[in-house]
Chain A
Amino acid sequence: MMIFRDQVVRHPTIRDHLRTTLLEMVARERRGEVVDRGAVKNACQMLMVLGIDSRNVYEEDFERPFLEQSAEFYKSESQKFLGENSASVYIKKVEARINEEAERATHYLDKSTEEPIVKVLEEELISKHMKTIVEMENSGVVHMLKNNKTDDLACMYKLFIRVPEGLKTMCECISVYLREQGKAIVSEEGEDSKNAITFVQSLLDLKDRFDHFLHESFSDDKQFKQMISKDFEFFININHKSPEYLSLFIDEKLKKGVKGMSEQEIEMVLDKSMVLFRFLQEKDVFERYYKQHLARRLLLNKSGSDDSEKNMISKLKTECGCQFTSKLEGMFKDMTVSNTIMEEFKTSLNQSSVNMAGVDLVVRVLTTGFWPTPNANPRCNIPPSARTAFENFRKFYLNKHSGRMLTLQPQLGSADLNATFYGQKKDDAGGAGAGSKEPRKHIMQVSTYQMCILMLFNKSEKWTFEEIKNETDIQERDLIRAIQSLSVGKVSQRVLHKEPKTKEVEPAHVFTVNDHFTSKLFRVKIQTVAANKGEAEPERKETRVKVDEDRKHEIEAAIVRIMKARKKLQHNVLVAEVTEQLKARFLPSPVIIKKRIEGLIEREYLARTPEDRKVYTYVA
């Protein structure tokens, strides 16, 4: 055998001729011709056998030159293909070629050649051109994403997974596109960011789109999943209103009268909102707004369903622990307790002859600390009848709970007023006697501030803004908003007449009752808050200040907690630990942490060690 090998097969001419023939046959088949596979198979087998215990002969005489030729061939073929075809067509062709070569190796070359030849193909057809394929204009990854070509993406995924860095290349390209889309939604100039609902909905839609790709095209691949999460985390935190908007979105879904959604659909939307919540860096800001919005829902009786509310809270609890949600739960408890107290109060009223000045009073007693509190307790001169009624309640309550203090919160209250309008109805038909001459009665649902304003008109017909301000003692900013809603807002809500008719309110402007007021509804609700736009600038700044204050305390508490446990710690380690402990709520900057450390040193909670000023000790 060895003689045969050395003398015959490896005879220079024979060797070359054999090799050339074999390669030529392969090349012809690749071009599409039919060749004598059997012959090739025999030749290869012979070479294998001649190697006796190894495949050296086969390898040297055939395989190596075969692989070289293949590499050349596919190098030029790839260039040609890329030039002529779109990405998706190219991919399909590559897939086809790979299958072909694998089959070739199995059928008439030696099976062991399959792996190396496929590698050659992967290298020449894919690896070397990854970026080109991915970034191909009008047919690459971005095009596929834009046009929902889920199948094409799946093919690309299956192909690219074969080569090192293949998926990474795809990921990078997709990430760029995703971030671009995300940034467009959150950008302050964009349309979406003007309205909380569209803002969040657009983000949810984007997430859905990419989750679809993740599942259908990328087999839930972890690398892709992580990229999507990172990208969302990146752009959702670009806009500082995100936490507020998310809370408003959820608020909308929890309110009464959510249009067109079944309980299950609402549940699903809330779950998806939680996914976005996880991406937020400033979760403490979200908490603050959620509290505010929940308070509004509870006090104005706008909650759709108690169950949905409690459901949402338990979702938050799972995410953030009880510290987050204990106050929210406290708010619910207060509502229940208040209802009980009201019943007892009503009973006691029936039994005694207390003068309630004709006011049907409903009081909600809120535990300070659970509910959002304003900066300073706003002042407000309540009309005498309301005041009398409230004093009766106060006496009753303090009898039961001596040692407690009750403070009226005018910014949270509301009132139903009986209103009678004596003027003629403005009539578009314009005919004489067409309007009704009967005084019209309505019930006006207004805020406490608005009640104070309107009741003034029982005393006198005309009031200037300045006078109203003095009489009611309400903070100017709130007063302006309240009175604007009554006079220059929606036409259907203009209970008051304002001279001049401008939107701005000046001290000398004059207000009178609009006796021509009409409404189709008996109960007229006056809106003050333009909900979905979020807080107005001055309030937003105040909220931000409060958030920063709270953060200061939380950082200090974390520092003290850590130092108490560890006794002695180096500066960098302390900063890292504090950041770690707080990152579930917000991301503290190292500078702010340092400032808090200094504050604690000054107040003698911490000290620097004398030997090393970079190490702190806990001062008991």
Chain B
Amino acid sequence: MPIRRKRSSPTSDDPRNKKAKVSNWSRRNELENDFSTKRCIAWFHEYTDTDEDVLGPEGMEKFCEDIGVEPENIVMLCLAWKLDAKAMGFFTKAEWLKGMTEIQCDSISKLQGRLEYLRSMLDDPVHFKNIYRYAYDFARNKDQRSMDVETAKAMLGLLLGKHWPLFGSFHQFIEQSKYKVINKDQWCNILEFSRSILPDLSNYDEDGAWPVLLDEFVEWYRENKSMSS
């Protein structure tokens, strides 16, 4: 931003002069502070090969480095959600533009300024639910309808690991089970379960239309708890 120089009054009787200078300055301000589509797109292409429309894994790596966020950080998921990205590890030009416009970011620094805001989305239950649900389609292998269990474990850890006391047990349960995939219904219900069922499972209702996966988890948990206690 150019240093504002205090002008001494004598020139004030030249209105045109002053006006021109003032508007010049504010226009430059606009230019620097405001969002520029052009700049946004140019920034996008810093991470793509030539003029391609898709930002791939290599570019993503550089991108993360630039903004100083690890790729596994949950904030990246929030960002992807904002961009409504279809596939993990990729941003299309359209997704980038639409999303970045929405958060008014066309540079690394601007985005860094917005990271807190993005992270705060997780604190709102409604937004969190949306991000959680979004994560399923985002992270799964597009060739299949369901998410493979390894990806599921990682994503669940990312999303629920900190706040759900039963996550550790659930992770263990999945490991020893025969499940190879998690379908969308099970995914969504896991969130519901983590939100409504107490850690000691005392309010778990067998008639609650929970997916069989969770019935089995409860059974396993109760069996193993009684064995270890």
Contacts and interface: CB of A to CB of B under 8 A. Distances in A.
Interface string B184-203: 11100100100000000000
A601 B208 CA distance: 16
A439 to B, nearest CB: 64
A571 B184 contact: no
How big is the B interface, by class?
A: 10 to 19
Contacts of B207: 571-572
A594 B215 CA distance: 11
Contacts of A594: 209, 211-212, 215
A594 B211 CA distance: 7
Given A601-B185, A602-B184, A602-B185, A614 B145 contact: no
B209 A614 contact: yes
B146 to A, nearest CB: 8
A613 B145 contact: no
Interface in A571-620: 571-572, 591, 594-595, 598, 601-602, 608, 613-614
Contacts of B211: 594, 598
A572 B205 CA distance: 12
A613 B209 contact: yes
A62 to B, nearest CB: 63
B208 A598 contact: no
Contacts of A614: 208-209
Given A602-B145, A613-B192, A608 B208 contact: no
Given A571-B207, A608-B185, A598 B192 contact: no
Contacts of B146: 602
A106 to B, nearest CB: 61
A594 to B, nearest CB: 6
B183 A613 contact: no
A613 B212 contact: no
B145 to A, nearest CB: 7
Interface string B115-142: 0000000000000000000000000000
Interface residues of A, number: 11
Nearest to A600: B185
Nearest to B208: A614
A591 B145 contact: no
A31 B145 CA distance: 91
A598 B179 CA distance: 14
Interface in B27-71: none
Given A601-B185, A613-B192, A571 B209 contact: yes
Contacts of B145: 602
Nearest to B146: A602
A595 B213 CA distance: 9
A614 B205 CA distance: 11
Given A572-B207, A602-B145, A613-B192, A591 B212 contact: yes
Given A602-B183, A613-B192, A595 B209 contact: no
Nearest to A607: B185
A571 B206 CA distance: 11
A613 B184 contact: no
Contacts of A595: 212
B192 to A, nearest CB: 6
Q: Which of B145, B183, B185 has the most CB of A within 10 A?
A: B185
A412 B229 CA distance: 60
A568 to B, nearest CB: 13
Contacts of B209: 571-572, 594, 608, 613-614
B100 to A, nearest CB: 30
Contacts of B212: 591, 594-595, 598
Contacts of B184: 602
Interface in B133-176: 145-146
Contacts of B208: 571, 614
B179 to A, nearest CB: 12
Contacts of A613: 189, 192, 209
B85 to A, nearest CB: 24
B227 to A, nearest CB: 23
Contacts of A591: 212, 215
Residue among A595, A613, A614 having the largest count of chain B Cβ atoms under 10 Å: A613
Nearest to A574: B209
A419 B102 CA distance: 91
Interface string A256-297: 000000000000000000000000000000000000000000
Interface string B67-82: 0000000000000000
Contacts of B183: 598, 602
A614 B209 CA distance: 5
5 contacts: A571-B208, A572-B209, A594-B212, A594-B215, A598-B185
Given A601-B185, A602-B145, A614-B209, 7 more contacts: A571-B208, A571-B209, A572-B207, A594-B209, A594-B215, A602-B183, A608-B185
User: Which 9 residue pairs spanning A and B have beta carbons closest together?
Assistant: A571-B209, A614-B209, A601-B185, A602-B183, A595-B212, A572-B207, A598-B211, A594-B212, A613-B192
